[in-house]
Structure 1
Amino acid sequence: MNVRVFASEQEAVAACAALVAAAVREKPSLVLGLPTGRTPLNVYRELVVLHRNGQLDFSKVTTFNLDEFLGLGPDDPSSFRAYMERHLFQHVNLAPVRIHFLDGSAERAERECARYDVQLAAAGGLDLVLLGIGPNGHVAFVEPGESLQAGSHRVRLSRESRQAVASLFGDDVWKVPLAALTLGMSALLQARRVILLAFGVSKAAAVTAMVRGPITTLCPASFLQLHGNVEVWVDAEAGRGMDGSR
């Protein structure tokens, strides 16, 4: 893993947006994996600015989001799809047909996950995926446990994960769904390039475990050690356990 410690979150955010823009210019038909939550929010704001300034054309880009709450349809204001519409999709020229999302309201979760994996395979897999990391070491909604699933799957959310997204539900963790649909580790490990962002002291232990610790299902992000092209971009607080790594 290539770890880079930035002086500030904003510096890392600007660098990430510039990297995405450069990747799209190099390959206009880029297949891009996108996260939700607080970590990528400012990245999306920077991407919107680049698009409005004529520096980023999304017209041929294909996107696959990482996860969605079980039981929430795309029109639910608390869904991750609604989040993406608010913060990115409505503000750039992504073609609707090129936007891919797990449907949390699907009647059969297993069938929906299989459909999503088929769509991603048909698109050729992810060229570039942006990731965050949970305080418990999860990526996407792949939670710690005795084992990890390779393909997209239904997952029971940990309390830590539900607390992290409570802001989408009026800061009431009890309103956060108990389960979600998520890409599995296979799609993430097969992505051609991975950029993982982490900001704040609450992510420091997870970042250290991911980079310095053993590969273990108790820290799903640690499996990214097996990937040949991963960049971990953190601010000083999240990178406090990196011992000066760049």
Structure 2
Amino acid sequence: MKLRVFDSEQVAAIACAALIAEAVRAHPSVVLGLPTGRTPLNVYRELVALSARGAVDLSRASTFNLDEFFGIPPEDAGSFRAYMERHFFQHVNLARERIHFLDGSAPDAEAECARYDAELAAAGGLDLVLLGIGANGHIAFNEPGDSLLAPCHRVKLGRETRLANAALFGDDPTRVPLEALTLGMAAILQARRVVLLAFGEGKAEAVSAMVKGPVTPRCPASFLQLHRDVEVWVDRAAAGQEP
């Protein structure tokens, strides 16, 4: 893993948006894996600004979001699809048919997960995936446990993860869905390039476990140690337990 420590979250976000823009310019039909949550917000704002200035053209790029809450429709304000529309999709020139998303309202979760894996395979897999990390070490919604699943799958969300997503549901963790659909570890580990962002003191322990700890399903992010091209971008607070 290549660890980069930035003076602030904003500086890291500007650099990350520039990296994505460079990847798009080098390969206009790039396939991007995109996260949600608070961590990537500034990256999306910077990409929107680059797009407005004509500095990045996303018209031929494809996107696959990492996860979605199960049991709510895409138009629900708390859904990750609605988050992406608000903060990114509506503001850039991505072709609608190149935006790929799990449908949390699908009646058959297993069939929906199989469909999504097949769409990603047909697209050739992820060229560049942007990740966050949960305080419990999860990536996407691959939660800590005795084992991890390779394919896209339905998952029960832990209490810590639901608390972290309460802002999407009026700061009421009891309204956060109990389950989600998520890309599995195979799609993430098969991505050609990985950039993981972590900001704030609350992520320091997870970053340390990911970078220095054993490879274990108890810290799903630790499996990134096995990837050949991973960059971990943190601010000073998140790097608190690192040299």
What's the TM-score, normalizing by structure 2?
1.00
Match of 1:226 in 2: 226
SS at match of 2:241: coil
Match of 1:139 in 2: 139
Match of 1:116 in 2: 116
Structure 2 gaps of 5+ residues are none
Structure 1 gaps of 5+ residues are none
Write the letter of the residue equivalent to 2:92.
V
Match of 1:182 in 2: 182
Q: Quote how far apart the aligned CAs of 1:72 are.
A: 1.1
- CA distance in 1: counterparts of 2:171 and 2:65, whole angstroms: 23
Matched, 1:32 2:32: yes
SS at match of 2:126: coil
Q: Quote how far apart the aligned CAs of 1:51 are.
A: 0.1
Q: Quote how far apart the aligned CAs of 1:143 are.
A: 0.1
- CA distance in 2: counterparts of 1:188 and 1:28, whole angstroms: 21
Greater than 4 Å deviation, 4+ residue runs = none
> C-alpha offsets along residues 88-121 of structure 1, whole Å, 9 cap, x if unaligned?
0000000000000000000000000000000000
- CA distance in 1: counterparts of 2:212 and 2:182, whole angstroms: 25
Q: Quote how far apart the aligned CAs of 1:68 are.
A: 0.2
SS at match of 1:188: helix
Write the letter of the residue equivalent to 2:199.
F
Q: Quote how far apart the aligned CAs of 1:167 are.
A: 0.2
Match of 1:130 in 2: 130
SS at match of 1:187: helix
> C-alpha offsets along residues 141-179 of structure 1, whole Å, 9 cap, x if unaligned?
000000000000000000110011100000000000000
- CA distance in 2: counterparts of 1:171 and 1:73, whole angstroms: 19
- CA distance in 1: counterparts of 2:73 and 2:60, whole angstroms: 26
SS at match of 2:93: coil
Matched, 1:216 2:216: yes
Match of 2:85 in 1: 85
Write the letter of the residue equivalent to 1:28.
P
Q: Quote how far apart the aligned CAs of 1:223 are.
A: 0.2
Q: Quote how far apart the aligned CAs of 1:73 are.
A: 1.1
Matched, 1:49 2:49: yes
What's the TM-score, normalizing by structure 1?
0.98
- CA distance in 2: counterparts of 1:229 and 1:156, whole angstroms: 29
SS at match of 1:174: helix
- CA distance in 1: counterparts of 2:156 and 2:31, whole angstroms: 28
Match of 1:22 in 2: 22
- CA distance in 1: counterparts of 2:242 and 2:110, whole angstroms: 39
Write the letter of the residue equivalent to 2:129.
V
- CA distance in 2: counterparts of 1:231 and 1:164, whole angstroms: 24
Task: Show the 5 A alignment for 1:56-67.
Answer: 56-67=56-67
Write the letter of the residue equivalent to 1:160.
E
Write the letter of the residue equivalent to 1:181.
L
- Equivalent pairs: percent with the same residue? 70
Write the letter of the residue equivalent to 1:179.
E
Match of 1:153 in 2: 153
Matched, 1:5 2:42: no
- CA distance in 1: counterparts of 2:97 and 2:9, whole angstroms: 33
- CA distance in 2: counterparts of 1:112 and 1:103, whole angstroms: 7
Write the letter of the residue equivalent to 1:15.
A
